């Protein structure tokens, strides 16, 4: 029986310029200086833990992910894989709006979203079922194309939540209960015993602490 193990590590992008607002698959701000620093800190932490031994770098096509992924791939001389299926969920007319603007412009839709952030999607946005299907398709493709390797995927908040639900077999509704901060880290292992969620780390300790 094969004991080949594939490790898939996901890191959420750092803070983009423009502060917190709805960014899905349409609005794509670059990383701020703080965002770059957050990701560099995450990288140093993983290096210190012996967890930065990747064979390939993968990324969402969104610049807030792709820019840092390309930098890491270039530094290490690794292949860079860009997969559109692993982009963030689309928020439709809410794209680019700050959270405080939503209840003013879309009071009924906002109330539905608060009551059920998974299925109470704004009109014109990407359906959660479609999003979940394409994300799992992209993750499975990474596993298949890089079997037995260690893969870093630069990713997004809701993509990482969907990955957690995918691994543990939780319903899509469970993703609303998972927090993924900037530069959060998730590690998944897949072998002949199936998939296992190895780690989910939101924290970035102060350096020197």
Burial of 41 (0-12, 13-18, 19+ CB in 10 A): middle
CATH number for the region 6-90+127-201 comes to 3.40.50.1240
Model confidence band, residue 117 (pLDDT cutoffs 50, 70, 90): confident
Q: What mean pLDDT is predicted for residues 76-103?
A: 95
- C-alpha 18/C-alpha 78 separation (Å) is 31
pLDDT at 207 over 70: no
pLDDT digits (tens, 9 = 90+) for 52-87: 999 999 999 999 999 999 999 999 999 999 999 999
Give the pLDDT confidence score for residue 205 in this predicted structure: 67
Model confidence at 12, pLDDT cuts 50, 70, 90, reads very high
Residue 123 is predicted with a pLDDT of: 87
Q: Can you give the pLDDT at residue 208?
A: 44
Residue 37 scores a pLDDT above 80? yes
Q: pLDDT tier at 119 (50, 70, 90 boundaries)?
A: confident
Question: When comparing pLDDT for 206 and 127, which is higher?
Answer: 127
Secondary structure in 3-state letters for 27-86: CCCCECHHHHHHHHHHHHHHHHCCCCCCCEEEECCCHHHHHHHHHHHHHHCCEEEECHHH
pLDDT digits (tens, 9 = 90+) for 134-152: 999 999 999 999 999 999 9
Mean pLDDT, residues 111-130: 89
* Domain ranges within the chain, ordered by starting residue: 6-90+127-201
CA dihedral of 192, 157, 183, 73, whole degrees rounded to 10: 60
């Amino acid at each position: 029986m094969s004991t080949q193990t594939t490790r898939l590590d996901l890191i959420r992008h750092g803070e983009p310029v423009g502060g917190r607002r709805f960014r899905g698959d349409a609005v794509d701000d670059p990383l701020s200086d703080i965002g770059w620093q957050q990701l560099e800190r995450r990288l140093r932490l993983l290096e210190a833990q012996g967890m930065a031994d990747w064979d390939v770098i993968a990324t969402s096509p969104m610049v807030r992910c792709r820019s840092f992924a390309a930098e890491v791939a270039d530094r290490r001389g690794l292949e860079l894989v860009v997969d559109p299926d692993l982009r963030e969920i689309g928020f439709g007319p809410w794209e680019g709006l700050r959270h405080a603007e939503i209840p003013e412009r879309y009071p009924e839709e906002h109330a539905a979203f608060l009551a059920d952030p998974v299925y109470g999607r704004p009109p014109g946005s990407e359906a959660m079922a479609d999003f979940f299907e394409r994300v799992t398709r992209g993750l499975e493709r990474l596993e298949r194309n890089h079997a037995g390797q260690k893969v870093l995927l630069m990713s997004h908040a809701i993509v990482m939540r969907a990955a957690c639900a995918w691994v543990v077999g939780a319903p899509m509704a469970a993703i609303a209960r998972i927090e993924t901060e900037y530069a959060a880290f998730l590690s998944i292992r897949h072998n002949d015993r199936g998939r296992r969620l190895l780690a989910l780390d939101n924290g970035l300790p102060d350096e020197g602490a």
